[in-house]
Structures are given as C-alpha cells and as structure tokens.
Structure 1
Amino acid sequence: MSDLHQRIIREARDWIGTPYVHQMNAKAAGCDCLGLVRGVWMAVMGSEPERPPAYSRDWSEPQGEERLWAAATRHLVSKRLVDGAPGDVILFRMKSGAVAKHLGIQTQVGPDARFVHAYSGHGVVESPLSAPRARRVVARFEFPTEEVI
C-alpha cells in the first residue's frame, strides 16, 4: 500500500466519532458523507478543487441526475469495481433505480473489507463492507497522485 493510501486511511479513521451534520465538513464538529471525503481530501491533497453547491438530503433524486457521481469523476480517478484497494472512495446507490448518493472510504479489502463513512444517526463510523452493502457500490475511485482540476 502506498504512502498516499496510508495517509488517506489514517485521516479517514481520524474522523471517526464526528457527529453527522448535513452539508458540514469539520472534523470532530460535524460532517455528512461528502463532508468526510472533502475533509480527507483537504487534509491529504490540500485545497479542494471545487466547493459543492448547497444540496438537499435527497440530493438530485427528483431530477434523476447523478450529480455526486459526476463530481467524483471530475476530481478522482475512476476504477473498475473489481479493483478495490484500501484508500478508495466508494459510491453507493442506496436503492435500485435511485441516484447514487452515499460515499465512503475503503480501509480494508478482502473477506474483512471495511469502510469509513458518515450517516445520519451514527456520525462517522467504520463499518464492514458486507455483501448487502457491497452490492450497492456502483462506482469506485482513487485519489489522484497529482491534483486534478
């Protein structure tokens, strides 16, 4: 595992215990799943290349637009789903036919796969990437080795 991947995982785990607060990205104060990934980016990569606009809890479901996926594609490096590695950003579709609107950072692969994510009622936690959760992953990305703008 590269130094970059180790730094991403360390930083993601350092956010564990941060309360869930919609649209925030402040370690220990509050964040949502996007705020977690943004916070890890800023700690590891530096300034973020794009600030997200305000967003509702339903994201772009009413419009059926994959806005989160499009933003991830602009700034992260797309990977095949089968090429999972620690430090990857994983994008989930919470239900079939809905837009993808949940993010996490994978910390382990293999039979004991795990990821760090933030979700309502729980804050930032590290959870098993169990088969039911893994089936909901629709895209996988890695942080760029150089900032992508």
Structure 2
Amino acid sequence: MTVKYGLRLWGEQDARAAIIAETKTWLGTPWRHQAAVQGAGVDCGKILIEIYAACGLIERPTVESYPRQWALHRDEERYLLVVEQYCHRVDSPGPGDLAVWRFGRTFSHGAIVVDWPSIIHADVAEGVVWADASCGRLSEREQRFYSIFG
C-alpha cells in the first residue's frame, strides 16, 4: 500500500518509520502554547502537524489562533477538526498513528504512537517526552486513535 499526501510518495512501513524518526528529533523541546519551533517550543497540536509535514505526508495547514483553555469552556471539537482533515479513526493504533485524549469538554491533547502504549507527546510540564499511556493521567481519560494510513 502507498500513501500520497502533499509532497512525497511512501510505502506505508517507510512512512511509519519516518514519522517515528522525525518525532524522536523533537524530544526535549519545551512546551509552548501555539509554538512550532523544534528545540525552542511546541504544543501538543502543532507537533503533530510539524511531524507529518516534515515527512511530506501533509501540507502544513493554517491553524487559527486558539485559546489555551479552549477545552475547558467550549464544546466545539477544534482539535479533532484538524486531525480528521487528514486521518480517520481506527480501533487500535500502529506506529506513527495518533492518539488523542479528552481534557475538559473536548478532545484536546494528542501524541504520536511509537508502539502502543508507548507514545511521544508535548507535555505541558515536561515538554516533548516519551510516555506510557497505560498509566498516569492519560490512562484515566477518554481516548481515540487516528491513522493517516489505509
């Protein structure tokens, strides 16, 4: 199977490996709201866009300014709206797929799946880090999985 989005034509396994490799280059980047600069700052939404765009799987979309506390006060699924422009929902994730969680009233946090439940995400307290989604605060939240493949 091949996937064509934006700039490159990949086989699925190569594309998944490229996503994981690119994601690892973001490790240690501090969390910064609405930022997307590797090593300087990124949030949990922009990192997903930057990784998929760097791999040539999507063209970088224009994302309007968004309040940091949106999910606590509104019902509009702004985060999922962007995710669902490029990915479809799946029951179980593969490497390079997305996991998203409900925080507050909407789905508003995401991560790249390395090998479920191992993820890399932009954590507000720790920056871009490896995490185990089967324990801690993420394991207590409603989650969904999305894939750009298939």
- TM-score of the two chains, using structure 2 as the length reference: 0.82
Which among 2, 12, 15 is matched to residue 13 of structure 2?
A: 2
CA–CA separation in structure 1 for the residues paired with 2:124 and 2:133:
18
**TM-score scaled to structure 1, two decimals?**
0.82
Local SS of the residue matching 2:69: coil
Higher deviation after alignment, 114-123 or 132-141: 132-141
Q: Percent sequence identity over matched residues?
A: 25
Using the alignment, how far apart are the partners of 2:107 and 2:14 within structure 1?
A: 29
The amino acid across from 1:85 in the alignment is G
How far 1:49 moved relative to its partner?
4.7
* 8 A contact 2:71–2:103 mirrored in 1: no
Q: Distance in 2 between matches of 1:40 and 1:137?
A: 24
**Counterpart of 1:107?**
114
Unaligned runs of 5+ in 2: 1-11
CA contact (8 A) 2:35 2:43 kept: yes
- 1:15 equivalent in alignment to 2:26: yes
Q: Tell me, what secondary structure is at the counterpart of 1:115?
A: strand
Aligned position for 2:131: 127
**Structure 2 residue matching 1:33: 3-state secondary structure:** coil
| Correspondence for 1:66 | 77
**Alpha-carbon offset, residue 20 of structure 1:** 0.8
Return the match for 2:146 from 133, 141, 145: 141
How many pairs does the alignment contain? Answer: 138
Q: What is the root-mean-square deviation of aligned Cα atoms in Å?
A: 2.0
The residue type paired with residue 117 of structure 1 is H
Whole-Å Cα distance in 2 between the matches of residues 59 and 119 of structure 1?
17
Give 1:143 shift.
2.4
Q: Which position in structure 2 is the counterpart of 1:36? A: 47
Aligned partner of 2:99 in structure 1 is 90
In the alignment, the residues of structure 1 paired with residue 33 and residue 131 of structure 2 have an alpha-carbon distance, to the nearest angstrom, of: 20
* Between structures 1 and 2, the one with greater strand share: 2
